[in-house]
Amino acid sequence: MACTAVVLCAMGLLGGTATAAYADPGPGPSPSRGADRGAGDGEGGAKGAGKGADDAELSPGLKRLEDVRKKIDALYRKAEKATDAFNGAKEQVERQQKEIVKLARNIDATQRKLTALKKQAGALASAQYRGGGVPSEAKLMLNADPEGFLDNATLARKGQQAAKTVMHQLARTKGDLEDYSESATDRWEQLDANRKKKESAQRDIKKKIDSAKKLESRLAAKEKDRLKELEDAQAFKEQQKWLDSGVLKDINNKASRTGKKAISYATSQIGKDYVWGAEGPDTFDCSGLTLRAWQAGGTTIPRTSQEQWRQLDRVALKDMRPGDLIIYFSDASHVGMYIGDGAIVHAPRPGRQITITGAGSMPILGVVRPDK
């Protein structure tokens, strides 16, 4: 944390060091910032790397670069939305594969049980055949020995009960087998559909990332540096708006014991590359980082930022504490971990590394807490 404090001071007012890989470029007001629009909304632009100029006041060269920045930003945001869809489909595929394996085992065990019951039913039929096909009730009536009559009555009652039990079990087992087979068929169909979703999302991600990289590759080295400055300036501007709202005066909670472990893990990954769909240990996407960080803290959380938003406990912004997860954008397509003093650690986007940036540099959807 001391190291983090030094980094934050060096950043100056916690201005962002990198914008995130966002999802749908459509605008959406942040619940925590009213009508303020976040970084990458496609409107407003950057202020010339901190020079305070609007788009209309930029030089032609800088205006072109700002347009490129917006296009690249939009492509990466769409790629991250597709990444979330990919991760969700991947989770479903893995879950359905496990369910199919379980069903296959149930089918195998039930089939063996059915075979054994059929043998029992066959043995009963054979016994009746060997008895000449005479019903047991008739044999009882024909027995002149009173003791033999009683013995036969007991045996007949037990035989009838055993036969009924076997036939009942046989019918129920056949029904179970049919149910398991139908469920397995349904799971296979769902698995096939989700595999197709996963493959489609993967193609979509690759297409958008390749397009963004192609745009960036056309820039000269100096232009690439300038592009990074424009990204930083936009993030800094949005963070400054957030800080100017006075939001930090109400946020002074301390991290929990498990939260400290999660923060320690997340901050130790700073400098590692963002790779879509990655969960570590060498590369991460945004939710892959928060997943592993909280696993290191001893808590298992959902894989994707959207599921983290749906399933984890939500807390008010003023009650936020270090270790909590901030979910960004109206579609919950990005996530960062709050580390205190108005900053987050997150995996921004392809082509960038895990870094510390301002918590208000993107439009906040809400805050969730992995531990109680």
Residues of the chain with pLDDT > 90: what percent?
A: 29
| Host domain of residue 43 | 2-99+203-369
Output the pLDDT for position 184.
Answer: 72
Nearest 10 degrees: Cα torsion 282, 95, 326, 211:
60
Above 60 in pLDDT, residue 90? Answer: yes
What's the mean pLDDT when you consider all of the chain? 74
pTM greater than the 0.85 cutoff: no
CA atoms within 13 A on the CB side of 267: 23
How much is the average pLDDT of 338-349?
Answer: 94
Higher pLDDT, 3 or 25: 3
pLDDT band at 221 (very low <50, low <70, confident <90, very high): confident
Q: Does residue 286 carry a catalytic annotation?
A: yes
Higher pLDDT, 366 or 211: 366
Count of domains in the chain?
A: 1
CB neighbours of residue 121 within 10 Å: 15
With contact defined as beta carbons under 8 Å apart, do 207 and 82 qualify?
A: no
How much is the average pLDDT of 162-178?
Answer: 71
Higher pLDDT, 354 or 215: 354
Output the pLDDT for position 34.
Answer: 34
Output the pLDDT for position 323.
Answer: 97
Q: Does residue 168 carry a catalytic annotation?
A: no
- Would you say residue 178 lies in a domain? no
Higher pLDDT, 259 or 74: 259
Comparing CA positions, the residue from 359, 250, 364, 366 lying closest to residue 15 is 359
Output the pLDDT for position 41.
Answer: 35
- Taking each helix axis from N to C end, the angle separating 146-217 and 60-130, rounded to the nearest 10 degrees, works out to 170
Above 70 in pLDDT, residue 22? Answer: no
Residues of the chain with pLDDT > 70: what percent?
A: 71
Helix/strand/coil for 284: strand
Catalytic residue among 3, 9, 168, 286: 286
Higher pLDDT, 150 or 42: 150
How much is the average pLDDT of 37-47?
Answer: 33
- Would you say residue 134 lies in a domain? no
Predicted confidence (pLDDT) per residue in 118-128, tens digit: 777 677 666 65
pLDDT band at 179 (very low <50, low <70, confident <90, very high): confident
How much is the average pLDDT of 199-205?
Answer: 77
- Would you say residue 147 lies in a domain? no
- Would you say residue 185 lies in a domain? no
- Would you say residue 300 lies in a domain? yes
Above 90 in pLDDT, residue 207? Answer: no
- Would you say residue 17 lies in a domain? yes
- Would you say residue 169 lies in a domain? no
The CATH number that applies at residue 57 is 3.90.1720.10
Q: Does residue 346 carry a catalytic annotation?
A: yes
How much is the average pLDDT of 175-195?
Answer: 74
Q: Dump the DSSP string for 74-95.
A: HHHHHHHHHHHHHHHHHHHHHH
Catalytic residue among 3, 9, 168, 346: 346
Above 50 in pLDDT, residue 233? Answer: yes
Q: Dump the DSSP string for 300-361.
A: ---SSHHHHHHHSEEE-GGG--TT-EEEETTTT-EEEEEEETTEEEE---TT-B-EEEETTS
pLDDT band at 159 (very low <50, low <70, confident <90, very high): low
Above 80 in pLDDT, residue 135? Answer: no
- Would you say residue 135 lies in a domain? no
Output the pLDDT for position 129.
Answer: 56
Above 60 in pLDDT, residue 235? Answer: yes
Higher pLDDT, 350 or 52: 350
Output the pLDDT for position 326.
Answer: 98
Output the pLDDT for position 325.
Answer: 98
Output the pLDDT for position 61.
Answer: 64
Predicted confidence (pLDDT) per residue in 285-321, tens digit: 999 999 999 999 999 999 889 889 999 999 999 999 9
With contact defined as beta carbons under 8 Å apart, do 175 and 167 qualify?
A: no
